[in-house]
Amino acid sequence: MLGWAVTFLVIALVAAALGFGGIAGTSAGIAQILFFVFIVLFVVALIARAVRGRPPL
């Protein structure tokens, strides 16, 4: 999922450099959403691991 966020971020940067504002804004928004979803899932995985009795990482 983090790979998808980075991919959309790169698309947004390239589109912004070429002057495609609409595509850049949409790609940046998608990258931001995917990044936050990744962070939430990472925290949930850490909590689940800690609840099962294993130390987090």
Q: What pLDDT was estimated at residue 53?
A: 81
Q: What pLDDT was estimated at residue 23?
A: 81
Mean pLDDT, the chain, rounded, equals 83
Q: Which of 5, 54, 56 is nearest to 33 (CA)?
A: 5
Q: What pLDDT was estimated at residue 14?
A: 86
Which parts of the chain have pLDDT scores under 70?
1, 54-57
Q: What pLDDT was estimated at residue 56?
A: 59
Q: What pLDDT was estimated at residue 40?
A: 93
